[in-house]
Amino acid sequence: MLGQVRFDPETGAPLSQTKEYPPYERGGGAGVRSPEPHPDAEGWHVGREGALTNGELESSSLGLLGHFRRTHRAARDEPNTALDRAAALAIKRIKADHDGIYDSLAWLVLAERLCRKGYWVVWMLDHFTPRCPHCGSSLKFKLGAGPIGYCASSASHGDVDEQIRELVCERYNETFATSDHYIDQLEIV
């Protein structure tokens, strides 16, 4: 993921706090970070030695799962293998059905799926960077009864909360709906 919440797109490993400034020819002009070892980020040491990234809009399945496990451990002390398995399966299905889906959207579809499976996943809402559904820009928030997200890049995209909810429902149904299970509103938000 990219933005305030960022991690290694290949493994979900955390990134270094400080930026590095490698030589220009390696593409490091603006400063980049290194993935750091973490037990929940599988395979961080395989081919990620010396990797430089600030996160991506779209991560691999393993990257999303690593981020999920890491943030779950931070929110809850005990690992939950049933939850890990459910998350791994859901991520695989979401990614298989939606080529190029942004992490910000995949994360909400995942949270909704796990919520519908009976898991407590409200903590997930603190661990993603919301994006405009029209252009992928980061959001800004107006304070009201509840904060309202709007596109930081284009005034014409306006308030986007409702559109994000609709999009999550749509993607959810495309992957998980069955003849007797279909959602038209979210339970997580």
- Residue ranges in contact with Zn ion by CB under 5 A: 132, 134-135, 137, 151, 154, 157
Token pair listed for 10: 């290949």
* CA–centroid distance for 4 within its chain: 11
For residue 147, the minimal CB distance to Zn ion (Å) is 17
Q: Across the strands, what pairs with 131?
A: 138
For residue 135, the minimal CB distance to Zn ion (Å) is 3
For residue 150, the minimal CB distance to Zn ion (Å) is 9
For residue 139, the minimal CB distance to Zn ion (Å) is 8
For Zn ion, the closer CB: 31 or 158: 158
For Zn ion, the closer CB: 13 or 151: 151
Pairwise CA distance, residues 113 & 87, whole Å? 9
Q: Write the DSSP string, 141-188.
A: EE-SSS-EEEESS-GGG-B-HHHHHHHHHHHHHHHH-BTTB--SS-S-
For Zn ion, the closer CB: 29 or 158: 158
For Zn ion, the closer CB: 16 or 154: 154
